Chains A and B, each alone.
Chain A
Amino acid sequence: MNTASKLTLAALALVVAGATTAQAQGVNGSITATASVQAPITVSGTRGLDFGNVFPGISKTIAVGDPGAGLFSVTGQASTQITYAFTLPGNLTFGLNNLPISPWTGYVNTTNSTSGGSTFPPSAVAANATLSGSGALFFFVGATVSPPNNLPAGSYTGTVTLTVSY
């Protein structure tokens, strides 16, 4: 092998070595994952709906602005829309005795007041409202009970449930 051939093979060897020892080459790209965690919603039954004394055969109504109106307090993410729905009893009960309760009335406000808000019909149908700038909302609930003439005396109770979600 002459000098020229030796040099050429050496050069080819370098080329091949370069190809076979090439390392993986990489490039990077990044994205951001983002999330906005909302303040948790809390619902408190602040005050029970209280009809006081009721007499057989005489209906009694508690309006949303009355002292006996029920009150729920909600807190959550400021200025955020929420969905709410009520679970309402058809009767207050005392043992096996029923005291019909209907219709229901409601008032929702961003302050603990029955002024400056709006009325709504409490029901199981979901509706929307918006938390205040401080993340508060108040639901006042009233209703009418219609005791039958033969209703046994006793303490009648029922449960009103408010469900709230974002």
Chain B
Amino acid sequence: MRFRPLSLALVLLGPASLAAQGKPITVQGVRSLTFGAVLPGVPRVISRTDPVNSGQYDITGANNNQVQLSFTLPNVMNGPAGATMPIVFGGNDAGYSQSQAIGSQVAFDPKQSFLATLNKNGRGSVFVGATARPTPTQRAGSYTATLTLTVAYFP
């Protein structure tokens, strides 16, 4: 019976040391993907390198930690009176930047999972662009949709 305290200590130290290896991981949407004025029948393309209109997420976590990025993407944007407008994501429409600089991205397909490595400070950014495809008879008004980025890591 005198050895039980030692055994319990080892058990408790295991998870504690894993948690101590890195900072809590976070992901924050910091800029909306903005199409601005869109004309019926005229596709509007926003590049992931557009510093004003592209979407952006910032990620924080353990230094040099590898993470898996995956998106939940909409097929349409929702507008007035139930109207919808197609939104399309191409295979080059997402980019990861370890330096968090929009001009220094590694492109990836937002419809596929992507493995990324946080920088030495435990940071990284994801940028996303897309194409809005209004129909020729698209109802006028404001349209919105939500893009969710899931950042998974393996403790």
Residues in A lying within 8 Å of B, measured CB to CB = 3-4, 7-8, 10-12, 14-15, 18-19, 22, 24-41, 77, 166
B32 lies within 8 A of A11 (CB): no
> Quick one: closest A residue to B30, CB to CB?
A31
* CA of A87 to CA of B44, assembled, Å: 27
Rounded to whole Å, the gap between the CB of A139 and the closest CB of chain B is: 20
Taking A37-B40, A37-B138 as contacts, is the C-beta distance between A28 and B11 under 8 angstroms? no
Contact status of A35 and B40, CB under 8 A, knowing A19-B14, A29-B151: no
Task: Please tell me the size bucket of the interface on B.
Answer: 35 or more
How long is the Cα–Cα vector from A76 to B111 in the complex, in angstroms? 36
Assess whether B106 is interfacial by the CB under 8 Å rule: no
- The CA of A25 and the CA of B144, in the complex, are separated in Å by 29
Interface assignment of B82: CB less than 8 Å from any CB of chain A? no
Contact, CB under 8 Å: B153 / A36: no
Q: Return 23 A-B CB contacts under 8 Å, by A number.
A: A4-B6, A19-B14, A24-B153, A27-B26, A27-B27, A28-B150, A29-B29, A29-B148, A31-B147, A31-B149, A32-B145, A33-B74, A34-B143, A34-B144, A35-B34, A35-B36, A36-B38, A37-B79, A37-B141, A37-B142, A38-B39, A77-B140, A166-B37
Chain A positions within 8 Å of B41 at CB level: 40
Given A25-B153, A35-B36: A15 touches B145 (CB 8 Å cut-off): no
Residues on A with beta carbons closer than 8 Å to the beta carbon of B138: 37, 40
Q: If the complex has contacts A24-B152, A33-B74, are A7 and B143 also in contact, measured as CB distance less than 8 A? A: no
With a cutoff of 8 Å between Cβ atoms, the chain A residues found around residue B68 in the complex are 24, 26
Which residues of B113-145 are within 8 A (CB) of A? 128, 130, 132, 134, 136-145
Complex alpha-carbon distance, A3 and B130, angstroms: 64
Chain B residues with Cβ below 8 Å from A27 are: 25-27, 150-151
State the Cβ distance, B27 to closest chain A Cβ, in Å: 4
Q: Which residue of A lies closest to B31 (CB)?
A: A31
Other than the given A31-B29, A37-B142, 7 more pairs (CB < 8 A) read A15-B14, A25-B25, A25-B153, A28-B27, A29-B28, A30-B149, A36-B141
Is the Cβ of B139 less than 8 Å from the Cβ of A37? yes
**Are the C-beta atoms of A39 and B140 separated by less than 8 Å?**
yes
Known: A18-B15, A77-B140. A35 touches B132 (CB 8 A): yes
- Asked whether any CB of chain A lies closer than 8 Å to the CB of B33, the reply is yes
Known contacts being A30-B146, A31-B32, is A38 close to B153, with CB within 8 Å? no
B58 to chain A, nearest CB (A): 8
Partner of B152, one of A12, A25, A37, A166: A25
What is the bound-complex CA distance between A34 and B132, given in angstroms? 10
Is B38's CB under 8 angstroms from A11's CB? no
Bound-state Cα–Cα, A31 to B126, Å: 11
| A8 partner residues in chain B, CB cutoff 8 A | 3, 6-7, 10
